[in-house]
Structures are given as structure tokens and as C-alpha cells.
């Protein structure tokens, strides 16, 4: 096949390229490919995972798919900046970007509170953003925190069972490990409003500092100072793509949970 002949380390997955280039969902791109509507350099392809070389031309029927550059940045967010593109009164994480990395099409993947620090992703890839934040994929996030107060003795079991927050909101099963007398690491698969702070409040504590250290396969780069940002490496992007690919498992959740959730959403395609 023509694409395979040219495929190399800079190649991009066909379904992802179409989704990014046309602003489609990945499943819409996959459908078009499977229905034999897509060519690479005028050769029909039917496998959404086909790798496309950088100079190859992709068409959906007669429409050329623009090859948009894809940016994914890792920031070590500093406390004091708000997770917003613009804000009338507060400093935003976008203002923390050095000039060469600033661009208007960047979006924030999973906001952090103003006082939360750590791993924040910024991207111009709408499909990736959707996949990283959609509950279907249950991307695991790890937070390190310090707290005050005396926590309930059965905190860990309550996390595992799925906490009920003070306002009655039900959380999915999560995990807490105590790393010191007033420090813990929390793993969650969802991103409810102030989730970790509210979870700690539900077990009798108050969060003092909160830092996101991991998101799916990505670990906060220890060499990034607070407020600093760098583009992801090819390897990190590949790992992220794998984590959100339709065939990826959901780390830490039971297979039964994942399958039933997946089915519900796949039928209707769009959430
Ligand atoms: N949970 C919170 O409470 N705050 C954050 O910023 C992230 C997760």
C-alpha cells in the first residue's frame, strides 16, 4: 500500500489526522475510512490505524484533508494563575507561556484550580482534548496533596467504594495512599469541580496544597520549574494517543464498568 511505503517515524495515524484536519470526532473519521471514502495519495485505504507519511495527501472523497500542525504542551502550572484563555482580572496560564509557545488556538485540557500546581496540558487538537477529558476514557489523574484535620479511619475504603461528597454528589471509585502524617496521593478517573478538595473534605480534612503529578501515561517533568512549559516529546504524544485510542483499556477501572459505559456512548456516537 502506498502509505506504508512512505511511512516513517514522523507518520501520523490516519483517523487522527482526519479528525484533527476536519474537526471531526475520531469515530466519525473511522467510519469514513471503513466505508472506503478515504484515499492516501489516491490509493483507497480501509484501516483507520494506517500510518500516513508527512508529505502524503489524504482525501475524504474529493476533499483534501489539511495537514494541520499539532501542538501538545506540558506546563508545570504555578499557583496564582487561572486555567482560562482570557480573564478580565486574573493572570491566566496562557500568559505564563513564553512568547514562542503562545498561539490563539490552544485549549486547556482539564482545568486546575487557581491554587493548584502541576501537570497541565494545552493543545490545539480538539479530538485529543475531547478524549482526554471525556468520562468514557476515564483517564487516570494522580494528585499529591497536603492536608490538615483528622481524617476518618476508613478513608481508603471509602475512596475505593466511591465517596459521596457533602452535597450528595457520587464519585467513582478512587484511591488514596497516605505518604506522610499530613500528606497523601490520590488517584481519580474523573474531573468533577474541585473534586479532590471535596473528596478530602468528605473524609474530614482540608487540602492545603494540591499538585497534579500524572495524567494517563504522562508524568510531570521534574525538570520543569513552576510556570514553565515544554512541548511533549514524540514518545509522550504516542503514549497519549495510545491511552485514548478506542481500543485502549481504562487504567484502574474494572473491565465491566468500562464495557458498559463504552457501549452506552458508542451507540449514540456523540455524548
Ligand atoms: N481537584 C481539585 O479539587 N482541584 C483541582 O485543581 C484539581 C482537582
CATH number, residue 125: 3.30.70.580
For the stretch 2-34, pLDDT in tens is: 444 456 667 888 998 998 889 888 889 999 999
For the stretch 81-140, pLDDT in tens is: 999 999 999 999 999 999 999 999 999 999 999 999 999 999 998 888 988 998 888 899
Is 15 among the domain residues? yes
Report which ligand 1 atom has the smallest distance to the Cα of 141. 8
pLDDT band at 231 (very low <50, low <70, confident <90, very high): very high
The response to whether residue 32 sits with its C-beta less than 6 Å from ligand 1 reads no
CATH number of the CATH domain containing 181? 3.30.70.1560
Q: For position 245, what pLDDT does the model report?
A: 76
Domain that holds residue 183: 140-215
Q: Are 155 and 146 in contact (CB under 8 A)?
A: no
Spatial CA neighbour of 37 closest among 58, 7, 23, 11 = 58
Q: 35 C-alpha to center of ligand 1: Å?
A: 42
Q: Is residue 162 domain-shared with residue 111, that is, in the same domain?
A: no
Is 266 among the domain residues? no
The response to whether residue 197 sits with its C-beta less than 6 Å from ligand 1 reads yes
Is 185 among the domain residues? yes
Q: Is residue 128 domain-shared with residue 145, that is, in the same domain?
A: no
Spatial CA neighbour of 83 closest among 70, 95, 68 = 95
Share of the chain above pLDDT 90, in %: 70
pTM of the model: 0.79
Share of the chain above pLDDT 70, in %: 87
Average pLDDT, the chain: 87
Is 271 among the domain residues? no
CATH number of the CATH domain containing 32? 3.10.290.10
Q: 174 C-alpha to center of ligand 1: Å?
A: 14
Distance between CA atoms of residues 32 and 38, nearest Å: 7
Q: Is residue 128 domain-shared with residue 80, that is, in the same domain?
A: yes
**How many C-beta atoms surround the C-beta of residue 133 within 10 A?**
17
Distance between CA atoms of residues 132 and 192, nearest Å: 14
Number of domains observed in the structure of the chain: 3
**Last residue of a domain, which of 45, 64, 83?**
64
Q: For position 248, what pLDDT does the model report?
A: 61
Q: Is residue 182 domain-shared with residue 203, that is, in the same domain?
A: yes
Amino acid at each position: 500500500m502506498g502509505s506504508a511505503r512512505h511511512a516513517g517515524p514522523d507518520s501520523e495515524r490516519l483517523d487522527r489526522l482526519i479528525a484533527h484536519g476536519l474537526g471531526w470526532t475520531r469515530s466519525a473519521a473511522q467510519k469514513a475510512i471503513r466505508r472506503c471514502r478515504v484515499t492516501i495519495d489516491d490509493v483507497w485505504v480501509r484501516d483507520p490505524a494506517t500510518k500516513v507519511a508527512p508529505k502524503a495527501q489524504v482525501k475524504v472523497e474529493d476533499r483534501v484533508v489539511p495537514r494541520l500542525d499539532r501542538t501538545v504542551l506540558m506546563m508545570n502550572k504555578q499557583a496564582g494563575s487561572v486555567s482560562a484563555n482570557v480573564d478580565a482580572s486574573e493572570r491566566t496560564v496562557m500568559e505564563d507561556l513564553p512568547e514562542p509557545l503562545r498561539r490563539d488556538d490552544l485549549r486547556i485540557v482539564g482545568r486546575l484550580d487557581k491554587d493548584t500546581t502541576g501537570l497541565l496540558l494545552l493543545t490545539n487538537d480538539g479530538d485529543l482534548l475531547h478524549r482526554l477529558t471525556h468520562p468514557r476514557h476515564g483517564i487516570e489523574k494522580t494528585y499529591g496533596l497536603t492536608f490538615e484535620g483528622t481524617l476518618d479511619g476508613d478513608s481508603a475504603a471509602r475512596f475505593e467504594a466511591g465517596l459521596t461528597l457533602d452535597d450528595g454528589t457520587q464519585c467513582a471509585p478512587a484511591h488514596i495512599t497516605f505518604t506522610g502524617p499530613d500528606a497523601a496521593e490520590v488517584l481519580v478517573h474523573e474531573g468533577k469541580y474541585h473534586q479532590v478538595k471535596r473528596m478530602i473534605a468528605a473524609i474530614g480534612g482540608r487540602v492545603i496544597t494540591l499538585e497534579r503529578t500524572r495524567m494517563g501515561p504522562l508524568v510531570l517533568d521534574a525538570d520543569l520549574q513552576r510556570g514553565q512549559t515544554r512541548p511533549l516529546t514524540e514518545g509522550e504524544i504516542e503514549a497519549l494517543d495510545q491511552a485514548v485510542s478506542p481500543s485502549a483499556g481504562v487504567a484502574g477501572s474494572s473491565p465491566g464498568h468500562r464495557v458498559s459505559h463504552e457501549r452506552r456512548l458508542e451507540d449514540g456516537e456523540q455524548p
